Amino acid sequence: MSFLSDWRKGAKPDSETELKSLEFEALVKSLKDGVIAYDTDFKILSLNRAAEEILEVAAGEVVGERITPQTMGNPKLKTLVQVLYPTLASSATELSRDSWPQIVRIETENPPLTLHATLNRLTNAQGQTIGFIKVVRDETREKEIIESKSEFVSVAAHQLRTPLTALNWSLENLEGELGDKPELQEKLKSASDLVERMTKIVNDLLDAAKIEGGKFGYKFEDAELSEFLNQIISHVKPVAAEYGVEVRYEGGAARYGVRIDRDRLGMAVSNILDNAIRYNTKGGNVVISLETTDMRGSFVKVKISDSGVGIPQEDLAKLFEKFYRGSNVIQLEPNGSGLGLYIARNIIKRHGGDIGVESAVGRGTTVWVTLPLDKSLVPEKEVVYEE
């Protein structure tokens, strides 16, 4: 890739520059991801070995050639064309906003591939765009493994759901037959609570499998955010009362029109509130507030703050991973799927928003969620967010 030094006018052609160019070229060749460099006329300047393997084309066949949409007529270069022009692919999903680098997930047919492409600009000393570098990662095999795992989890969860439903029905019938026997009623309640927790874990597994398969399903409608949040708060207050925790809304009188799936977003917010209640202290509180933010346009930020046990700093980066549960949380509540925040994050991303957390041990936790007020920012298709 010595062309880079030729492009950047003004670089002194000394041995040090040549050495750095050779080092860079060796690095690019060794990458497992494909790297394609091309100029502003879409003339191919270089392909590394990984790109040749992913695109099934030799560098010698395309370097120096200008690739246009019409090149799609050449079956051998069809995948390369779809990578350079994602709108020509069978499916292309933007994963980045209007900024650099630009990231897109590309689905191709014949051959069927799932590619993660990251595009960045090459500029000269004056800051002018003189070309592009596109890094392509083949996620096809990874997607197949995820789909296989999701199918297994889905089948297993469905098999568990049936006996749990029957067991719950039997416990409900038994409750009516026990009469006034406090000791037995207490044991029965413990059994019912356990079945309820197991049912929630099974449902979480099914939801996670649907999300991974891009089949969670969404039905969007216009809604007023403060009204929507207050409805959820009213649903969780009985649970909060059992834990001795007060939940209150402090969003003010401002009204925000958003486009949401009430059931799915309700599930996400409920998962966050459930954590804020369960990992709180008796006599503690949970406060929901709203504020506008100019991050990436016009967004509204929902803050859910609790006075609970807090989260260790080393756990914060892993909170939204599947099955992850913090060490202090496990001590307080041994049962749990570790899927609640993973599901919540994917739901919120599907709404065009984002989620984050601020916390310190012994100082409580604030989970924030952003939602777009500009309804055009809601993605058109389902995407799995793993990072």
Q: Burial, 359: exposed, middle or buried (Cβ in 10 Å; 0-12, 13-18, 19+)?
A: buried
For residues 148 and 156, what is the distance between their CA atoms, to the nearest angstrom? 12
Q: Which CATH architecture has domain 3-138?
A: 2-Layer Sandwich (3.30)
Least confident of 44-53, 100-109, 320-329: 320-329
Q: Which two tokens stand for residue 125?
A: 């000393």
Q: Where are the domains of the chain?
A: 3-138, 144-212, 221-377
Q: Which residue did the predictor score with more confidence, 179 or 116?
A: 116
Residue 89 binned pLDDT confidence (cut-offs 50, 70, 90) = very high
pLDDT at 166: 82
Average pLDDT of the residues in 281-305:
86
Residue 113 CB contacts under 8 Å (≥ 6 apart), including other chains:
54, 79, 106, 107, 138, 140
Chain-centroid distance of CA 14 in Å reads 46
Topology of the domain comprising 144-212:
Helix Hairpins (1.10.287)
Domain 221-377 CATH (choose: 3.40.50.2300, 1.20.120.420, 3.30.565.10, 1.10.357.10): 3.30.565.10
Q: Is it the case that residue 382 has pLDDT exceeding 80?
A: no
Edge-first strand listing for the sheet containing 44-47 = 44-47, 34-39, 129-138, 113-123, 102-108, 91-94
Residue 295 binned pLDDT confidence (cut-offs 50, 70, 90) = low
SS (H, E, C) 252-288: CCCCCEEEECHHHHHHHHHHHHHHHHHCCCCCCEEEE
pLDDT at 7: 47
pLDDT at 133: 92
Reported pTM = 0.60
- Which residues lie across from 133 on neighbouring strands? 37, 120
Residue 288 binned pLDDT confidence (cut-offs 50, 70, 90) = very high
pLDDT at 5: 47
Print burial letters for 151-190: b (CB count within 10 Å at least 16), e (below 16).
Answer: eeebeebeebbeebeebbeebeeeeeeeeeeeeeeeebee
